[in-house]
Structure 1
């Protein structure tokens, strides 16, 4: 009896579950069927609209052809009237000349038949003069006649128009453009976007839309809100450079291909500007440091001082520093320091007002990551926190987000996060570099690495 009840319960649950699934699937199919029926109705309406549009366009073409036929026929008729009128005048003038010449010829022949010498002499002299005058003026009296003026230089040629009419077809919107991110380039305040399309000859123009990218949900909200986009219309080429962008910032781009039939948009492309480029400022360097000619490397002048590295290494007299040549008061910035064999250095930022050569975190105006032989610490206001980077750290990455108030350090090769300062900045800051032995080389104007986008570390 117990087994029977269990079997009953199990079968009842299975049937109930399957029934629920079937009801849900039936409901989904009914919903899908409703959408398909609605789509069929849309197809009917759209096809009818296109047929009416086709009839309207063809009627317009026929009207234009009929109008042009009437205009050209009127020109032919006018040309015919002008030519016939001119020819009629020439014929009348020629007829008058012929009649005068015939009358004079008849009189001269009659005079030549006169046998009476006295009467001949009486009339011949007058007639001779008239014949002589008529012969001399015959070239003047004859009308100018152009025997080739019979519309031979006038022709009708509609070859191009016939070909155009033969090429008439149903115009569709262009295919979706594709943003070629591998071809796009960027500086700290510009991005050049490149795209391609399969049917570029059918494209009349392109439209570029862009906005700051914050998250994947940001893409959805942007696509649903036209007010959020910056728009560049009427682009004729398949590339465009956008100026005036924020440095170290990721943007989302969409390209729209447009013709008379409509438009289609590309998939969103995510591109970012580089960080603010800068170099070392030689005038700020400690007298015992050497800055390279390209202002990218700082080196301790070992020959100028034989002091021991252990001698009061954090006193005001031993801060061998140099600053970058920029002051930062907004935005996100990333740079790297190549550690050229140095085992004693400090890298970070300091306020513009920080005392000169006191950029090693001993005061409230500087924040640094420092190494002294095997000791690694981050330091601010003389407070030290030990860190444990990779033993093979050779490139130190620095990410400064001034607006959100954070300064982060990374192993740029191993992508290891080392430490993040949370700072409420009240003044512009500048990058600072301290070297007690060997050298450091800086890399700036870099894009923020992808793995650092959207990171939020709390220490």
Structure 2
């Protein structure tokens, strides 16, 4: 290609780009010019509205004060008029008495004179002229009802347009993260009485330090905050940190954002691991539900291989109730640990699913809520090498509490096939607390944080949350901080053992009080994987 032609084409492309930029800029200027006119009209309208409001307030105050003056005038006039009437009547009475007395001086009869003198004395004693006060009940002074607007006049003369508010300052030391709530506190660098409200923005992040301009999360907005503190409630801490920033607003404009701060909100997050689930369980990220049809699509040869080794088991699988619910007869299951590297899927009567995240250290908390009609469920911890036929609480590598609402109600703590009855009501939701380093697993009533049971365990390998459910479902809540009530309770209980810590690895020789899995029903072979 000709170099001159190539250069000319580049010049043409540059000019075309510049031409497009200028056209876009002209469109922007025209749009901005139009908006200036629109916004100017709006600002004038708002200004007139503010002054009209001020005039209206002054008119209302003037009318109110004028009414006060009129009422005071009526009151004073009424009181003075009453005094004038009383004084006039008293004067007439006094003049009549004076005339009577002058006439009495000319009486010559001593008896008549004495009688007249006594009458005059009695009438003088009762005369209203001597009982009336000679001080007016009201003055003619009305100046105390006047007002002085000199200071207000100076304020009005100094009236200016509202400035853009300054950026608030978040007080990091007063911010609080507890019980999945975050309280953010801020202050204004200079006192500003014209602030109307504040806007708080926050977002979750996994990056420590200053917020990134382009983060994976968008800012969430809380508007119209009237105080310099706000608490976000009911949060799920599924990220390690949260960014916060706040801005002040008056009636004119919103100010700049405060310097953003980052607060740590670390919590234990996990879901159900569907690859570790029994085929009769329908698993989603944070819910698991019994599904009696879940295993019907599995090839019968595969089912035969997985259940090989127990003829008694197959006999009992045929016992079904008329309603289609598995019968309650106990079955004998051959337990064989899954070989290393195999998929951790449970089978037989081990209606189990594990969590997808291991615990190797630290303190963690999560909550589980069963469906109201759930027949049987367990929750606790297990080592990952749990065999396919193993049931929670029936091995020395699982710890759980179990609820049975089928045929015979029971609530028990279970480990290594040893159980302890929990003589307390079954809560609607159960909190699980694990302190891996101290070797402690505790269960709480999630509503009132009452301790249900504590296991003392020396963990020798990482553990995972473990769950069993039959005829019902469970809902999992994670991303939770350790509740302050639980944390306080643990501080007082650590090292004491506790009356509820009755089943541990050292108690393997204790006789089983309740083998609650004996209450689980047999299952038809068509429902088995």
TM-score for both structures, normalised by structure 1:
0.49
Between Structure 1 and Structure 2, which shows a larger proportion of strand residues? 1
TM-score, structure 2 as length reference: 0.43
Q: Work out which structure has the larger RCO, using CA pairs closer than 8 Å and 6 or more positions apart in sequence.
A: 2
**Larger helix fraction of residues:** 1
